[in-house]
Amino acid sequence: MKASARLLGTFAILAMAVGSLLAEPKTAMVVQVVSTEDSEGYNTKITAINAMIKAKTSYERLRRVWVGDLAGENSQGVFVVSVFPSAAAAGQFQDKLKDDAEVKAMIAELKSIRKLGPTYLYKAVRTDGMYDGGAVFNTSINCSDEDGYAQCVQAIVRGG
């Protein structure tokens, strides 16, 4: 199976598994774990893909390449992070590009320098940050009251 089809298939399965998440209009973040020996070359290719996709879709917040400093077993590993207005918007974005020949060709180039790991879909609890472009996500918190948790975080930020 081709990597791009596998990636889209993984996203579709993940989206179905969290069906209620799709209905919520909260910001969604897709994190793809990537293994590569050439993180600079990988980043260069992602930058080129982002420019092409922006020209086709006008979408600004595309894939960003990160290295995980404190990422458990994936510390110092490469992550590709995409942020969307909602999980449904992420699916619509993928649908727009799934048959595009240029996108497929560029993804084929990526295949030669990387191996895909798991893909994660996160829903934002709080999207304002201390500075523009800053992001923290914590996967060790189990929360049954997201709004209450966000209010507690806000109180801590305000010093109360």
Go through the domains of the chain in sequence order and give each one's CATH number.
3-124 (3.30.70.100), 127-160 (no CATH)
The model's pLDDT over 140-150, given as tens digits with 9 standing for 90+, comes to 777 788 788 87
Res 28 pLDDT > 60: yes
Lowest mean pLDDT among 19-28, 85-94, 97-106: 19-28
Taking every pair of Cα atoms in the chain, the longest distance, rounded to a whole number of angstroms, is 53
10 Å CB burial of residue 28 (0-12, 13-18, 19+) is buried
Q: What is the pTM of this model?
A: 0.66
Residue 158: its pLDDT value, please?
A: 74
Distance CA 125, CA 36 (A): 31
